[in-house]
């Protein structure tokens, strides 16, 4: 059960981006989309969210309403006139969650993402990393069945990046939702994805991550070996 792409193709005008892709994103799993710049990773997220429609084929949402798909794009799309708190609270207001519940939920998430001291700042006044974490909090707050993250940690410093990655995984384990992350970062892929999809113009190569169940895996030899394997596969695919 999940979201299935059946023979999906998509073009921007004359430029063919995605051609005849078949794949099922299963509920409760974590996926990473890797691939060279411009191959169509963000476009695929737009298709999954329903911002774009396939020109051929179809996308089937099995047991998941399309509203249960949340996407956090690279360019964050924050409103400069909203504070951090208001930005993260907004999806809960739309869902008509009671005020006290909203406050607790938003504040807990802001604490986890080290944003609580910036809670009253306007989005237009935030640093790149703060904007990225605010956008991530807005994506996480509704606990969607499918969370699509487009380069979620690209402007974070190494320590905040690791904390954000750990938060993404701990939330995913708690909620048992599906997380699909687009990244260029091989270590991030090996940490966040049970299944890695290397995307090329010809489609996907699918790899299972052998390190997901290892304790302290960031420090393990197997983790580094898997990163090396991913790097060399990426080089081959992009040749
Ligand atoms: N709205 C648009 N209109 C026309 N062309 C677009 C549009 N958005 C993206 N493209 C083109 O589609 C192709 C795929 O873009 P996309 O952003 O999906 O790639 P990507 O793999 O996510 O790249 P990156 O890793 O650099 O973010 C690129 O050639 C891009 O220029």
Tell me which of 3.40.640.10, 3.40.50.300, 3.90.76.10, 3.90.1150.10 is the CATH number of domain 2-77+145-238.
3.40.50.300
The whole-chain average pLDDT of the chain stands at 90
Would you report the helix, strand and coil content of the chain in percent, each value rounded to 5? 45, 25, 30
For tokens 């966040």, what's the residue? 192
Q: Is the CB of 39 under 6 A from ligand 1?
A: yes
Q: Residue 149: beta bridge partners?
A: 72, 181
- Does 189 have pLDDT greater than 80? yes
Q: Indicate which residue's Cα is closest to atom 7 of ligand 1.
A: 12
Tell me the CA–centroid distance for residue 43 and ligand 1, in Å: 6
- Does 174 have pLDDT greater than 90? no
Q: Indicate which residue's Cα is closest to atom 31 of ligand 1.
A: 38
Site to substitute for ligand 1 among 9, 17, 186, most atoms within 8 A of C-beta: 17
145 in Cβ contact with 67 (< 8 Å): no
Tens of pLDDT, residues 4-28: 999 999 999 889 999 999 999 999 9
Determine the distance from the C-alpha atom of residue 131 to the mean position of all C-alpha atoms in its chain, rounded to a whole number: 15
72 in Cβ contact with 21 (< 8 Å): no
Task: Kindly provide the ipTM of the predicted complex, given to two decimals.
Answer: 0.96
Residue 62, pLDDT score: 83
56-61 and 2-12 strand pairing: antiparallel
**3 state SS of 157:** coil
Tell me the CA–centroid distance for residue 9 and ligand 1, in Å: 14
Report the distance separating Cα 138 and Cα 90, nearest Å. Answer: 8
Domain boundaries, the chain: 2-77+145-238
| Share above pLDDT 90 across residues of the chain, in percent, rounded to a whole number | 60
Tens of pLDDT, residues 220-239: 999 999 999 999 998 887 66
Single out the residue of 175, 172, 183, 182 nearest to residue 212, CA to CA: 172
| Strands of 36-194, DSSP E | 56-61, 69-72, 146-150, 178-182
Q: Which atom of ligand 1 is nearest to the CA of 46?
A: 18
Q: Indicate which residue's Cα is closest to atom 3 of ligand 1.
A: 12
Confidence of residue 163 (pLDDT cuts 50, 70, 90): confident
Q: Indicate which residue's Cα is closest to atom 28 of ligand 1.
A: 38
Confidence of residue 106 (pLDDT cuts 50, 70, 90): very high
Q: Residue 2, CB half-sphere, CA atoms under 13 Å: how many? A: 20
Which contiguous run of DSSP H or E holds residue 18? strand 15-26
Q: Is the CB of 91 under 6 A from ligand 1?
A: no
């Amino acid at each position: 059960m999940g979201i299935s792409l059946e023979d999906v193709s998509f073009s921007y005008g004359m430029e063919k981006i995605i051609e005849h892709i078949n794949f099922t994103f299963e509920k409760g799993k974590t996926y990473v989309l890797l691939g060279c710049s411009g191959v169509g990773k963000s476009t695929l997220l737009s298709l999954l969210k329903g911002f774009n429609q396939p020109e051929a084929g179809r996308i089937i949402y099995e047991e998941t309403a399309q509203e249960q798909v949340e996407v956090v794009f690279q360019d964050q799309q924050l409103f400069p006139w909203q504070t951090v708190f208001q930005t993260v609270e907004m999806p809960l207001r739309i869902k008509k969650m009671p005020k006290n519940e909203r406050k607790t939920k938003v504040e807990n998430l802001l604490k986890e993402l080290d944003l609580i001291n910036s809670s009253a700042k306007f989005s237009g006044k935030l640093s790149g990393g703060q904007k990225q974490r605010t956008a991530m909090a807005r994506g996480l707050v509704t606990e969607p069945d499918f969370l699509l993250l487009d380069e979620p940690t690209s402007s974070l410093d190494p320590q905040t990046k690791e904390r954000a990655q750990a938060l993404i995984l701990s939330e995913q384990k708690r909620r048992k939702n599906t997380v699909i992350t687009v990244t260029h970062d091989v270590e991030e892929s090996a940490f966040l994805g049970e299944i890695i999809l290397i995307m090329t113009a010809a489609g996907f190569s699918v790899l299972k991550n052998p390190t997901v169940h290892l304790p302290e895996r960031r420090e393990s030899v197997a983790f580094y070996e898997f990163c090396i394997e991913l790097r060399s596969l990426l080089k081959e695919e992009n040749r």
